[in-house]
Chain A
């Protein structure tokens, strides 16, 4: 009985675990190594920290207050809208949009651009890893 329960729980956990594809895993490992180099007490990326960062209000590149949610909205399963041009943005959550977080070059490009736009600086390896961990779990 206990064994069955254990098995069911394990299966459920595995089904729920959101996984990066192989190239993205390699990228996450690189970020991980960078984060560890910057801070030896780093133990792993955290979706909760990523979420806080994603929702945090910043003085953006243009000098006005914004956060990631300004364009991507507070529900990543929904699409958003570019705040400058009104152009629609497809959903960020891989559960709603399987193309997300699959192409390392695209991910790097958008992290570079969006950190600059929202935070007026580049993101650290820790911040990038945390945000990606948050997004993949949406």
Chain B
């Protein structure tokens, strides 16, 4: 009993250690992650995903337009798996990097390691979060290029 409790507690602590469900939708991977990192649906709330998918022909200055059917299917996947907790709270924008939670988590990162060419911007998750594609953003898995571990 004690053991089960311990394992459950351990499991929960892992679940909350910067972890989100991986982006596991083949169509999303094909249409969205061909140009950029496949941000997990839980990183934005439903309203934000609605905004993103509502104007794909001008997607952060780029034409990312899709056919109507594909667009609706992907919106459905994103909304069904959207985030609702502290990670997405008070973010009414389309940008993951604008959520108060995200800003707080990254506030101590020196600007020069973000702007360097190996990273480019805060939207390039995988540049530092080595397991970001698996939905694991834990501090232990952070390696910043030309800087090293972040602990």
Where the two chains meet, the residues of A that have a C-beta atom closer than 8 Å to any C-beta of B are: 61-62, 82, 84-87, 105, 109, 112-114, 116-117
Contact between B124 and A117, CB atoms less than 8 A apart: no
| 10 further contact pairs, Cβ within 8 A, besides A84-B61, A85-B37, A87-B34 | A61-B61, A61-B62, A62-B61, A62-B62, A86-B124, A87-B36, A87-B37, A105-B67, A112-B63, A113-B65
Query: What residue of chain B has the Cβ atom nearest to residue A115's Cβ?
Result: B63
- The number of residues on chain B lying at the interface, defined by a beta carbon within 8 Å of a beta carbon of chain A, is 17
Query: What residue of chain A has the Cβ atom nearest to residue B30's Cβ?
Result: A106
A87 contacts across to B, CB distance below 8 A: 34-37
Contact between A109 and B36, CB atoms less than 8 A apart: no
Query: What residue of chain A has the Cβ atom nearest to residue B118's Cβ?
Result: A86
Q: Does B15 contact A (CB under 8 A)?
A: no
B34 contacts across to A, CB distance below 8 A: 87
A84 to B124, CA, bound (A): 10
| B122 CB, nearest partner CB in chain A, Å | 12
Query: What residue of chain A has the Cβ atom nearest to residue B60's Cβ?
Result: A84
Contact between B123 and A85, CB atoms less than 8 A apart: yes
Residue in B63, B124, B127 whose CB lies within 8 Å of A61? B63
A82 to B60, CA, bound (A): 14
A105 contacts across to B, CB distance below 8 A: 67
| A82 CB, nearest partner CB in chain B, Å | 5
A82 contacts across to B, CB distance below 8 A: 35-36
B27-54, CB < 8 A from A? 34-37
B63 contacts across to A, CB distance below 8 A: 61, 112-114, 116-117
| B34 CB, nearest partner CB in chain A, Å | 8
B117-139, CB < 8 A from A? 120, 123-124, 127
Residue in A86, A112, A114, A117 whose CB lies within 8 Å of B120? A86
A52 to B67, CA, bound (A): 30
A54 to B35, CA, bound (A): 20
Can you give 25 contacting A-B residue pairs, CB < 8 Å? Answer: A61-B61, A61-B62, A61-B63, A62-B62, A82-B36, A84-B35, A84-B61, A84-B62, A85-B36, A85-B37, A85-B120, A85-B124, A86-B120, A86-B124, A86-B127, A87-B34, A87-B36, A87-B37, A109-B65, A112-B63, A113-B63, A113-B64, A114-B63, A116-B57, A117-B63
